[in-house]
Structures are given as structure tokens and as C-alpha cells.
Chains A and B, each alone.
Chain A
Amino acid sequence: MSKHQFNSHEEFIRAVSESKAKYDKKRLQLSWKEKLKILVKLQQKAYAAGKLGVKPWPMKD
């Protein structure tokens, strides 16, 4: 895995922001169903950590 060297903290922050923006843009383009499947993964993590009051949704493919 290649490591990118940043010349400054600002450059690093900009790169992180751009990467996050691309990630968010990709997620926005998903269908409602696909987004809800991601939600269930979030629920599973939260449930395992004891941070969800109910069981994760039983989403089917």
C-alpha cells in the first residue's frame, strides 16, 4: 500500500475532505434500499456496542 506524503496539515485536511466528499457523493447515488442496507450495518455495529435499543432490522436481499 502506497503512502502519500503531505506537505502540510492543510493539505492533509483538504485531501481528507475531498475523499469524504467523493464517498458521500457515491452513497447519495445509491437506491433507498441500498442505503437502508447500509443503515442495517450501522445498526448491527451499534447493537453490538449496546447503543441501540432494538434489534437491527431484518432486511432481506
Chain B
Amino acid sequence: MESVIRTLDELVEHKIIEEYVIGGATALIYFSTPTLTEDIDVFVYMKEQGSLVDLSRIYGFLVEHKGVMVEGEYVFIDGFPVQFLVPYDDLSNEAFKQAVSAEYGGLPVKIFALEYLMAIMIQLNKVKYRERLRLLIETRIFDKRKLSAILKTHGLLAKWETLIKELKTP
């Protein structure tokens, strides 16, 4: 995992990307209990980022300089499947900008804040996310006011209120 972070840092150093933030379940695990995932979601910001983003510069650099394997949507960095993503809407853009600092094995890394990870799961409402959200409700580790504010901004409050009732029903 350290090698993944070092490789991502190299992408920044070589100006292939401007910045990166770890999202998805890998970031969620930082705050919560371990939950099954197969990849590491890495959100990137590239300088010429417009509506159409070309990630081939990242793949090209990694294949040429790091000898990585690209298979389907994953880039295997030292055996770890990494999926590069770009923030795709207002919520994910805000999550990217409001990323928080974390540390892995002494290496600093930015990750999505817990309440943004929750908001994204509420927005996408996949079956696997419902179980993760239920666990988060049980452990009460998130900032309710912060989550409510994010959900209100992005028109997700009603969805959350419906979801919370369903998740609390045995």
C-alpha cells in the first residue's frame, strides 16, 4: 500500500496530475470497520480537466516508468488494483475539495471525509452501501450536522431520511 501512495505522489511530482484523493471503501475503512472491497478508488484532478478527461496520460506514465499492468478499469500498482476516477458531479467535486489529511505507514495522504463518503453512498444507494451505512449509524462515528448540511446542499436529505427509516427497520 505504501508503494501505491509513493507512486501516486510521483504522478504529482511529474505533473501528470495536479492532486489526488483516495475515496471509496479504502477511505471509508480509515474511519470505520473493515468492509470488503477489491480496489482502491483514486480521484484525480488534472490541469486541463474539462468535461472530457483523458486518463491515458496517467496510464502511459505508469506503464512506461513503473511497469504497471493495466487490466480493464484497474491499474495494478505493485499488485494493488487502483481505479482512477475524476470527480463527476457537484458532490464528488466538493468531496474532493474538502478532503481531509490522513496517514498511512507514516506517509501523508488525502482522503474523502467520512460525511462525504456517506453522502456519496446515499446518492448512489447501492445494496452494498446500505449495509455500510447501517454500520455507520450503529457506530455513530459521523458528524450528524455536517452530514445534514452536505445532504441539504445536494438535495439528498429526503433520500437519507427515507433510507434511515429502512435501515433501522429490522
Listed residue (B33, B81, B104, B135) with the most chain A CB atoms within 10 angstroms of its CB: B33
Main secondary structure of the interface of A (DSSP, over half): helix
Contact at A39–B29, with CB atoms within 8 Å? yes
Q: What distance in Å separates the Cβ of B158 from its nearest Cβ neighbour in chain A?
A: 29
Q: Which residues of B contact A46 (CB under 8 A)?
A: 36
Q: Residue on A with the closest CB to B102? A: A32
Report how many A-B pairs have Cβ atoms within 8 Å.
56
Verify B102–A55 contact, CB threshold 8 A.
no
Bound form: Cα–Cα A27–B141 in Å? 13
- Size range of the chain B interface in the assembly: 20 to 34
Known A21-B138, A24-B138, A57-B1: A52·B79 in contact at CB below 8 Å: no
Chain A residue with the shortest CB-CB distance to B105: A33
* Contact assessment for A42 and B105 in the assembled complex, using a CB-CB cutoff below 8 Å: no
Contact status of A36 and B38, CB under 8 A, knowing A27-B33, A28-B141: no
Binary A-proximity of B66-82 (CB < 8 A = 1, otherwise 0):
00000000100011110
Point out residues on B near A: beta carbons under 8 Å. Answer: 1, 26, 29-30, 32-39, 74, 78-81, 102-105, 135, 138-139, 141
